[in-house]
């Protein structure tokens, strides 16, 4: 089985909703101690930054697709 076939596995909508709820609640619970150290704005910035990095690691298109999109006539 190729890696391309693994990327096309359908995820049920309820699974995506549960994952979103879990990530919001877990990040809120883990950031409670950070609020005292870096303040509310710093905590929000850190949560957004970590979320962005995770999103890029998970949902980024393969490098060949990005290269093909920029070199198309």
60 in a structural domain? yes
Look at residue 3 and tell me whether its pLDDT is greater than 60: no
Q: Give pLDDT, residue 33.
A: 86
5-36 pLDDT tens trace = 556 678 888 988 998 899 889 888 888 888 88
Alpha-carbon span 52 to 12, nearest angstrom? 23
Question: Is 18 domain-assigned?
Answer: no
* Residues of the domain holding 48: 35-68
What is the DSSP-derived secondary structure letter of residue 18?
Answer: H
What is the average pLDDT value for the chain, to the nearest integer?
Answer: 79
The number of domains in the chain is 1
Average pLDDT for residues 31-57, to the nearest whole number? Answer: 88
Instruction: Decide if 44 contacts 36 (C-beta within 8 A).
Output: no
| pLDDT given for residue 2 in this prediction | 47
Q: CB under 8 Å to 35, separation ≥6 — which residues?
A: 43
Q: Does residue 64 form part of some domain?
A: yes
In-domain check, residue 42: yes
pTM over 0.75: no
């Amino acid at each position: 089985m190729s890696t391309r076939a693994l990327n096309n596995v359908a995820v049920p909508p309820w699974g995506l909703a549960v994952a979103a709820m879990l990530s919001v609640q877990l990040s809120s619970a883990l950031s409670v101690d950070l609020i005292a150290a870096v303040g509310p704005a710093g905590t929000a910035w850190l949560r957004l930054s970590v979320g962005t990095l995770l999103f890029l690691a998970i949902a980024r298109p393969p490098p060949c697709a990005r290269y093909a999109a920029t070199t198309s006539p």
